[in-house]
Amino acid sequence: MTALLYTETEEDLRATVRKVLTGRSPWQAVLARIDGGEPYDAGLWHTLAAEIGCAGLPVPAGRGGAGAGWREAAVVAEELGRSVAPVPYLGCAQAVAALLACDDTELLRRLSDGDLVATLAVPLSTPLGAAPPAGALSPTVRADGDTLTGTVTSVLDALPADVLIVPAGGSLWQVAAADARITAVTSLDQTRPLADISFDAAPAVRLATGAPAGRAWTAARTAGAVLLAAEQLGIADRCLETTVAYVKQRHQFGRPIGSFQAVKHRLAQLWVQITQARAVARHAAGCLTTGDPDTPVAAHLAQAHCADVAVRAAQDCVQLHGGIGFTWEHPAHLYLKRAKSDAIAFGTPARHRDALAALLHLPGPG
């Protein structure tokens, strides 16, 4: 049993992070960065990671972190979702989760300090639970001695990364980003541009192999999926808030459009779904924090539910803003692209439902 409410400490952390994000990364600034071709905001990330300590929240103090937990990390993810801030939080968090399961401490310490950016070199769409731990973690990269050769496509947070954590040949490796070729791709979600990576006999340091590598891999993927659910909650919450404010002030037929039941009911139903998204996202973060045996179910459940809620909220945000919501000058499209991209990240809701069915012993036909 996990508690589903926010603690006072978590609310304090939220207030701190929100203040920074509203001040430094309003949507106009995000849009300007996209238009300028430099989406990632290194200065903002420095404040969040190095000054506030967001990157090392789940890392014990003895290993260089803040000694908080994944619940707190999820609160930060919610706030980042609300602001669609282009910072490498999700990539770093997966790296942290992997390293927590490995022996390494130096890299973990530097990540926690906000000194370095790292990410897991895996396509963002890779479904949670995919790849057998002891098998070929990444069939597209091969290990020869202490070098890696091959390609990984559509990787999250690779562009600002200093270090890549690469699954290959049954092991997890650490590769300096400078030793790989990283090419930006044109991404559906412009606030989180993806990149293709190729390795050509890139020097690599083995972090873990065999079963421990599998555990680190699972830890990283699970943490990523749980934080993504929190991010989706933040996206949905912000879309609802923006839309509610708009339908109160937009008048047609001599009345605020928010007084029409067709509009009110749509938003009320969205609010109901968001209250549920909050409960499942909190449950997942709580499970991850305590290592609850329900964590796999909780993570797939959170993804299956929150992904759809975020997409629906962003779509409703566009729809209920009418024409203005379809313009480049309005932030709705930033949320729509993030929400839809997030619904594919870590596997689609349908894949999560499939995975849940297996975990719950609800077999398919035949």
Partner 1 sequence: MRADELAARTREFLSAYDPATDFLRARFDAGLAWVHYPRGLGGLDLPRALQPVVDEVLAAAGAPDNDPLRITVGLGMAAPTILRHGTDEQRRRWLRPLWTGEELWCQLFSEPGAGSDLASLTTRAVRHGDDWLVSGQKVWTSTAHEARWAILLARTDPAAPKHDGLTFFACDMTAPGVDVRPLRQLTGEAEFNEVFLDEVRIPDADRIGGIGQGWQVARTTLMNERVAIGGAPVPREHGMIGIVARAWRERPSVRTAGARDELMRLWVAAEAARLSARRLGEQLAAGQPGAEGSAVKYAFALLNQEISGFGLELLGEEGLRYDDWTMRRPPAVDWALRTPGYRYLRARANSIEGGTSEILCNIIAERVLGLPREVTG
- Binding residues for partner 1 (CB under 8 A): 3-5, 240, 244, 247-248, 255-256, 258-261, 263-265, 267-269, 271-272, 275-280, 282-283, 301, 304-305, 350, 353-354, 356-357, 360-366
Give the C-alpha separation, 62 to 50, whole Å: 17
Give the C-alpha separation, 16 to 36, whole Å: 28
Q: Is 115 helix (H, G, I), strand (E, B) or coil?
A: coil
Give the C-alpha separation, 349 to 365, whole Å: 20
For tokens 């997966």, the residue is 94
Closer to partner 1 by CB, 34 or 271: give it.
271
Give the C-alpha separation, 267 to 188, whole Å: 26
CB atoms within 10 A of CB 362: 9
Closer to partner 1 by CB, 183 or 275: give it.
275
Closer to partner 1 by CB, 183 or 269: give it.
269
The type of residue at 357 is A
Q: How far is the CB of 214 from partner 1 (least distance, A)?
A: 26
**What are the residues facing 168 on neighbouring strands?**
171
Q: How far is the CB of 235 from partner 1 (least distance, A)?
A: 17
- CA neighbor of 281 nearest in space, from 5, 7, 95: 5
Q: How far is the CB of 326 from partner 1 (least distance, A)?
A: 23
Q: How far is the CB of 308 from partner 1 (least distance, A)?
A: 9
Provide the phi-psi class of 196: left if phi over 0, else alpha when psi is between -120 and 50, else beta. Answer: beta
Q: How far is the CB of 300 from partner 1 (least distance, A)?
A: 9
Instruction: State CA 78 to chain mean position distance.
Output: 9
Closer to partner 1 by CB, 198 or 348: give it.
348
Closer to partner 1 by CB, 67 or 256: give it.
256
What does residue 208 show for φ and ψ, rounded to 5 degrees?
A: -165, 155
Q: How far is the CB of 68 from partner 1 (least distance, A)?
A: 21
Q: Which is it for the CA torsion 188, 47, 182, 57, positive or negative?
A: negative
Closer to partner 1 by CB, 206 or 353: give it.
353
Closer to partner 1 by CB, 105 or 276: give it.
276
> Is residue 152 within 8 Å of residue 122, measured between CB atoms?
yes
Q: How far is the CB of 306 from partner 1 (least distance, A)?
A: 9
Closer to partner 1 by CB, 181 or 255: give it.
255
Residue 276 to residues 142, 202, 270, 322, 366, Cα–Cα distance (Å): 43, 45, 10, 27, 34
Q: How far is the CB of 141 from partner 1 (least distance, A)?
A: 33
